[in-house]
Structure 1
Amino acid sequence: MKKLAIGIMSLFLVVTGCVPNMNQEEEVVEKEDEPKEEPSIVTSYQLNEENYRTILPYKTSAARGVITDQVANRVDIDEMEEGLKRLSKSHFDPEKYFFREGQYLSNVKTLIDQLNPDKDPFDDKEDVSLKAKADYQKENPRYLSHILEQNFLKKNEDNTVEVVGVSIALALKSVYHFTVDGHQYSKKLDKKKALQAGKEDAQAILEELRKNEELQNVPIMIALYQEEDQASPVPGNYEAVTYAEPPGRMVGDWEQVKEENILFPSKEAEEKYFDDYQMMKRFGEGIAEFFPNYVGYVGKGFYIDENLKQLNIEIPIEFYGKGESVGFTQYVYGLVKETFGTQYDLQIEVTSENRTESLIYRKAGEDEPNVYITN
């Protein structure tokens, strides 16, 4: 084995990315309407060229915590946040601009209620049947579940920072779960109708943002994200994006986002990406041949323009000693070199009893995987 590191710190470094360039942090002032300027720090620690730097002290979102109330699936929350940053890079270069959580939409829950159909239009009328109430919900689904905002800032020559871009993500349900008089229902939603509702909501959000004087001359990107269902092991996908140049108040053309998160093994993977499906099948069979405790894997493939860009695999397996764990990791390491190409990022996490035993990681273009075994 070429690279072997033991310890939690090594595991932390590979998960978070490359070691940052240790440059000095600079004190700057964030431009505000108030005459009193509060000094801030622009951090120069950039984990890699793909990550935005941040402003310190770190400002949490004006709608902090709302996303966990509105979006049921943790993997959707992560993909929604990281995916919006990924899409934003097309307009706001991470080499030039800094990231900050959204500060302008503090009334997110109110906006969601205003943009969605009324939850209960019957005003507690006693003569309305359960069926009538349920039918109303099915015919008037609340597509919009969350509004995520991100801000992008630049540093000026006078050592101040100012907002130069705003990105918005609208989360749209794929399955509508609702309760009527204590009875639970669910309805699978039509994708085209959900996206159409999202585009209408985007117009309202753009108008709301333009009311703020600070954002009247700031470009605003809006993306539509369709969630997966609550129990899905893989997240949903961004479906469309639009970009409003200032001082525009009307949403223009929408561009299709050609990204997909695919579960392995699954019927969808077999139908859409058969070669990758077969590759994963061979990988699983290779493990099962020698390890009786192996019960399967969960693979998550991320595709852009139908090209695999990232593959994450979790292998839950029961070990009865450290030697077993190390031996298993060594065997999987060999399978990685035999099975997987080098044109995409690869991460394999071996877990046992809800803890990480080891991690095998390889960046796209690299020949040799890195191996990290926890203590």
Structure 2
Amino acid sequence: MKKLSVLFIAFFSAIILVACGNDDSSSSSSGTQVISQTSNNYYQGVIKNGHYLTSKSRGVSVQQNDNQLNLKGFENGLLSISKDQFPTDTYILQEGQYIDTNTAENWLGRKSKSNPDGLNPSGKDTEVPLYLQQMDEQDFMEQSHGDLKIKGMTIGLGINSVYYYRKEAYGAVYQKTLDDKEIVKQGKAIADKVLQRLRKNKDLKDIPIVIALYKQASNDSLVGGNFFAYSVNKDGATSVDNWKSLDIKNYVLPDETSSEVNTNDEDAFENFKNQVQKFFPNLSGVTAQAHYVDGTLRGMHINITTQFYGQSEIISFTQYVQTTAKKYLPNSIPIDVQISSSEGIQSFLARKTGAKNFYSHVFTSY
């Protein structure tokens, strides 16, 4: 189910990228083009020499991240933080070009004689946890006379909540749950060092640099992690001293362990689930990922796994889900529903904030 969820998000990302199209504004001297903006919700992107300009350090992490939802939650959450500081109607998003792959690998490693730039503490893997798991850089540009100049930057730091390690090569995997206070302490200390290093680059000496801290979920979690603090560093500041806390949580519904989920939200989903299962019993599961900000439900992603494959049945089921979701689920938040079987995605539904009706699509095989 987690793999299908990631594929679903990737599918939408591809649609958004294709929909952007090409813009007629470009720099002939550098071969750089700016992707046209189709909505104020999205940044304009950058194409260089006919190719989308990807991050120089994309995909670099300390070790294999078994929970792909951490990666998506990290990227999407970081983008939301950036939008608050660098409005989409003013800035152009260029994926990170200042922290290259080699630098990222060194920073994500342990500090040692052979790697003095390591941001993770020195010591043996079996004794000292690795805290910094992943990082991402977003550059925010302004265009002037065909040239792009960097005017701001956001750095996301993914901090482990659980440390996984082996006592011997190819041996059993052990885990250690990390203390929340230590996660915050280590994250803020690492952020301070990152800011100092970035300021040494003449292009980054005076621009505002946002640094955000993300607490990674465990590998077996059905939801991704969450950002818990960020800092906006202006006027060439070389130390982080103004952190702002974030209250962002993700939960799986139905929830049988946490008392933090709003009862009304849980009841609404339970009613939706019961109605769907009552009329279509051939279902393997109905679950939801609920996204909360400051204790308020801000979004919901629902996964429904079926055991039927007939096209007419899928169409009827999709229509029924649409009617039932409209009746029982909250109408003030964005909601998407993914319907799938063991063979892949069968259909999906989505509704934006404030919209009355769901958009739906049934996948057809030819």
Q: TM-score, normalised by structure 1?
A: 0.85
User: Would you say how many aligned residue pairs link Structure 1 and Structure 2?
Assistant: 340
For residue 267 of structure 1, report the CA deviation from its aligned partner: 3.0
Identity of aligned residues (%): 29
SS of the residue aligned with 1:247?
Answer: coil
Structure 1 CA distance for aligned equivalents of residues 272 and 255 of structure 2: 15
Structure 1 CA distance for aligned equivalents of residues 11 and 132 of structure 2: 35
In the alignment, which of 34, 42, 47 is matched to residue 56 of structure 1? 47
Equivalent in the alignment of 1:25: 24
Equivalent in the alignment of 2:352: 363
Question: RMSD between aligned alpha carbons?
Answer: 2.3
Structure 2 CA distance for aligned equivalents of residues 100 and 355 of structure 1: 33
Structure 1 CA distance for aligned equivalents of residues 27 and 156 of structure 2: 29
1:39 aligns with 2:54: no
Q: Contact between 2:134 and 2:159, CA under 8 Å: does it hold in 1?
A: yes
SS of the residue aligned with 1:93?
Answer: coil
For residue 25 of structure 1, report the CA deviation from its aligned partner: 2.4
Structure 2 CA distance for aligned equivalents of residues 141 and 22 of structure 1: 45
Equivalent in the alignment of 1:246: 235
Change in Cα spacing, 1:52 to 1:70, as seen in structure 2 (3 Å) is: farther
For residue 19 of structure 1, report the CA deviation from its aligned partner: 9.7
Q: Contact between 2:166 and 2:173, CA under 8 Å: does it hold in 1?
A: yes
Structure 2 CA distance for aligned equivalents of residues 193 and 314 of structure 1: 34
Cα deviation digits, residues 239-274 of structure 1 (max 9, x gap): 000011031111121101122222112235554322
Map 1:125-140; keep pairs closer than 5 Å.
134=126, 137=127, 140=128
Structure 1 CA distance for aligned equivalents of residues 292 and 59 of structure 2: 29
Structure 1 CA distance for aligned equivalents of residues 280 and 162 of structure 2: 38
SS of the residue aligned with 1:331?
Answer: helix
Cα deviation digits, residues 95-131 of structure 1 (max 9, x gap): 11111111111211211221212243xxxxxxxxxxx
Change in Cα spacing, 1:53 to 1:276, as seen in structure 2 (3 Å) is: same
2:167 aligned partner, one-letter code: V
Equivalent in the alignment of 1:78: 72
Unaligned runs of 5+ in 2: 1-9, 110-117
Equivalent in the alignment of 2:121: 117
Equivalent in the alignment of 2:288: 299
Equivalent in the alignment of 1:346: 335
Structure 1 CA distance for aligned equivalents of residues 93 and 194 of structure 2: 21
Q: Contact between 1:296 and 1:315, CA under 8 Å: does it hold in 2?
A: yes
Equivalent in the alignment of 2:135: 147
For residue 52 of structure 1, report the CA deviation from its aligned partner: 0.8
Structure 1 CA distance for aligned equivalents of residues 11 and 121 of structure 2: 45
Equivalent in the alignment of 1:163: 150
Q: Contact between 2:251 and 2:261, CA under 8 Å: does it hold in 1?
A: no
Unaligned runs of 5+ in 1: 1-10, 30-36, 121-132
Cα deviation digits, residues 59-104 of structure 1 (max 9, x gap): 2222133149453321111111121111011211111111111111
